[in-house]
Structure 1
C-alpha cells in the first residue's frame, strides 16, 4: 500500500500567507467537511468508535481528531502526508489505546492532502461525493436501528402497542368463527352504525 502513496507529498502556503487556512469561508468550510468525511471513512477508527475503545465519549474523540487535523492546516505553512498519517496514528494510541499497523491511515492522509488541493482550486466534487456517501451510510445504520427499536422492550409506546394490536386482530377473528359454528346461533341485530350486535343466549331464555 505504501507504494501507491507518497508520504512526502505536501501542500505549502504562499510566501506572503502565514498558514494554509483558506481565507474564503466557503473554501474553508468545504475543506473541513472533507477532512471530517475522510476521518469518518477510516475503518480502523470507525471500529474503535463502534466498540467504544475510547470510552463512552469515543464519538466525540473522533470529532476531536478531525479538529486536530484541521488545525495542522490552520497553524502550519507546510503540511505533508506523513505528518497527517502520524497525527492520526498517535491519536489512535492516545485516545483509543489502539496501535494501527496496517497502513490504513496513509490513504486517509493522502486523501486529505488531495482534497486540500481540490478545494484550493474551487473543486468541491469529491467533498460532496464523500458527504453523500456518508449520508447513505448513516441512513443504512438508521434503518437497522429502526428494526431493533420495534423489538426493544424499552420502547413500549411504540413496540408494545403495535404488538398488542396485531395480537388482538386474530383473536377477534377466532371469536367470530366460533360464534358462526355454534349450534342454535342467536339472532343478530344491526345497529344504526352498521355494527352487528349479538345477544347472549342467557338473556334470550
Structure 2
C-alpha cells in the first residue's frame, strides 16, 4: 500500500497493521532520504513498497518476531538494497514503533494509526501546496528570463577595466654568516 494514496484508512486489524507499517516506513527519515535520492536505483520507491509488504508478511507468518528481529531486517535491507549503513538507532525506533502499533491492532485499538494517517494526509497536502507554489515561482522566473533575454540585443558599452598596478616585490638578498654559510629564512619571516 502506498502511503501517498488518498484512500480512506483501513477497516480491519490486518489492514490497519499494513497501514501502520507503511506509515512508519514512509516517515523514517533514513529510508525517505534513500528513496528520494535513488540510492536504491531507479526502483527505490518500489523497494520501499516491497519492504512494507515483506514486513507485513513476516509479522503475520512468524508470531515470534520481535522488535530486534525487525530492526535486523530493516538494517539489512537498508544496507543491501540502498547501500546505507544505519547506525543512528533509528531502525530500532522504527521497529519498536511498528511492534507497538501491531500490539495495538491486536487489541483492536486503531486510534494511534488513525492519527498517524491524519498527520500524513496533512503533510501530503502541505507538500502538494509547496510543490504548486514552487512551480508558480519557477514559471515566473522563466517569464522574467524571457523578458531579460529580449533586452539582450541592446548591449551597453562598458569600456575597459582600469589596470591594477602592483608594487614590485623586493628581492631579499641571502644572509651569509661568519663561516660562509647561507642562512635559510622561511618565506613567512622575509
TM-score (ref. length: structure 2): 0.65
Indicate the SS of the match to 2:12.
Answer: helix
CA-to-aligned-CA distance 1:123-170 (integer Å, 9 cap, x gap): 0001111111111221221112102222446xxxxx79xx69xx9xxx
Structure 1 partner of 2:81: 95
Equivalences for 1:33-72 in 2 at 5 Å?
33-72=19-58
The residue correspondences of 1:89-168 to structure 2 (distance < 5 A) are 89-152=75-138
Q: Distance in 1 between matches of 2:59 and 2:36?
A: 28
Query: How far is the alpha carbon of 1:36 from its aligned partner?
Result: 0.7
The aligned counterpart of 2:180 is none
* Structure-2 residue corresponding to 1:74: 60
Report the secondary structure of 2:89's partner residue: coil
Matched residues in 2 for 1:139 and 1:87: separation? 31
SS of alignment partner, residue 84 of structure 2: coil
RMSD of the alignment, in Å?
2.0
SS at match of 1:79: coil
Alignment of 1:25-40 (within 5 A): 26-40=12-26
Q: Measure, in 2, the Cα distance between the counterparts of 1:58 and 1:152.
A: 27
Structure 1 unaligned regions, length at least 5: 1-24, 154-158, 168-205
Separation (CA, whole Å) in 2 of partners of 1:98 and 1:73:
24
CA displacement 1:84-131 (0-9 Å, x = unmatched): 101111111111111111111111101111111111111000111111
What is the number of residues matched between the two proteins? 134
- 4+ residue stretches of structure 1 with deviation over 6 A? none
Output the TM-score relative to the length of structure 1: 0.61
Deviation at 1:74, TM superposition (A): 2.2
CA distance in 1, matches of 2:120, 2:45: 15
Q: Which residue in 1 is equivalent to 2:174?
A: none
**Quick one: higher RCO (CA 8 Å, sep 6+), 1 or 2?**
1
